[in-house]
Structures are given as structure tokens and as C-alpha cells.
Structure 1
């Protein structure tokens, strides 16, 4: 996963041809949080979807610790997360899991069809 902040405050979480380690992704997220400015995360990947390479137990543990240590900063700076479905049917269990994660981290979630709708929703999240 690569953190693409070239359109900040819209920050895209993208699958990348070159494999990024979970540590590299965490470093990118840490740098994003260190900016101290509000942003919205956008992704086409729904949590729990199969990846080309499975995450190791240690990677999952490190990711969980990262989110635990940065929960308040995420709550303060991340206005929400928008999942671009591109017409895929999203199982109710997956939607519930995303919204539960949102409650735990203090984030709003939205599911939209395409990037255009994602930009509109992200702007709405960023508006106080």
C-alpha cells in the first residue's frame, strides 16, 4: 500500500506495483500526521480483501500498535475515509466492519461509486 498525498488534503491509499513494506506505509502515515493538517483518506481497497501477498502476523501486530499509538492524532486530523466501490457489491458485514473501525478510530466512513463522488464526499468531510 502506498500513501499518495500529491492531492493533499485528499490522500489516496493505493496498491502499488512495487511492494511497499508495512513499515514504509506506517512511515508515510506518520509523516502525514506530522504535517498537522486535516485530510481525508480515499481508497479503492476494502479492508479484508485478498492481497497478492498475505500480511504476516508481525505486520498486523505492528499496524495495530501504530493505530493504537496514533489514535488521537488520527481522530484530530483525519476527517474520514472514503471507499471507492466502482460498482462492486459491498457485503453488509464488510460495511459494518469498516464503520466499527471508524467508531474505534473516531473516523467517518463513506462508500461511493467513483472518484468523482469520492472527491465530493471528501470535501463534505473536510467542511466544518
Structure 2
């Protein structure tokens, strides 16, 4: 998995090589500024090749949940079909509670407004 950070605070995730996600996420967390994770790849659509590190990525997200939820304003899957965005949100919404930050599917026409809204929102702090 590859993270592109040049459009910070928009952090694009892809299944492309080279794999740099761990180093990039650690650097983002050290930076301490809020960002939004973006992808055009639906969850579970990872490649089956030898460079597939989706399991390691998922485990890292779980292990670093508390740190990540303070900086990650949201994770948005960008699609080009509004009906698909609406329909898929029911399936990805439960991930929000599990990960500690909002996970949504958004239509590409709404991307700018959604990124802005999530970056401006105050992170929810848990009492436990």
C-alpha cells in the first residue's frame, strides 16, 4: 500500500507500489496535524500479489487506534456514482466505531466539502 502525502491534509491511499504506508502514517502522527485518508479503492478490493500488505495495515490501524483518531479526521472512499455512495455507507459506517474515526463513501462531487467539514469538526474523545 502506498500513501501520497503531497496534497496534505488529503492523504491518498492506494494499492500501488512502493509500499510506504507505515513510515508515512508514523510521520503523520508525529506531525500532530489533522488529515483525511482518501482512496478510490473499495475496502476488500486489495490485490492478491506478494506486495499485498493489507493485513499488516489493518493490524497497525487497530494497534494505533488511539493515536490515529486524534489526527485522522476521517477516511473517505471516493466514488463517481452518488447512488453507490449512498448505498455503500450502510456497509462502511460500522467501521467508524471500530476504528475511532468516521469512515464514509462520498461522491467525488462532494469531496471538497466533505474534507473541509471533517477537518473542521472537533475529534470525539471517548470517556474510557
Could you state the TM-score of these two structures normalised by the residue count of structure 1?
0.76
Could you say what the CA RMSD is over the residues aligned between the two structures, in angstroms? 2.6
Could you list the runs of 5+ residues in structure 2 that have no partner in the other structure?
122-128
Paired residues of 2:69 and 2:101 also in contact (CA < 8 A): yes
Following TM superposition, by how much is the alpha carbon of 1:89 offset from its aligned partner in structure 2, in angstroms? 3.4
Instruction: State how 1:95-110 maps to structure 2 within 5 Å.
Output: 95-110=89-104
- Residues 91/102 of structure 1: CA separation in 2 closer, same or farther (3 Å cut): same
CA offsets per residue over residues 28-60 of structure 1, 9 Å max, x none?
A: 21111111111111110110125262676xx45
- C-alpha spacing 1:98/1:55, structure 2 compared with 1 (3 Å): farther
Partners of 1:111 and 1:6 lie apart in 2 by 22
**Separation in 2 of the partners of 1:26 and 1:46?**
20
Please list, as runs of the form range in 1=range in 2, the aligned pairs for 1:39-118 lying within 5 A after superposition.
39-51=35-47, 53=49, 59-87=53-81, 89=84, 95-114=89-108, 116-118=109-111
| Higher relative contact order (CA closer than 8 Å, sequence separation 6+) | 1
Determine the structure 1 residue equivalent to 2:13: 13
Equivalent position of 1:25 in the other structure: 21
Q: Structure 1: where are the runs of 5+ without partners?
A: none
* Contact map agreement 2:85 2:107 (CA 8 A) in 1: no
- Normalising by the residue count of structure 2, what TM-score does the alignment of the two structures yield? 0.76
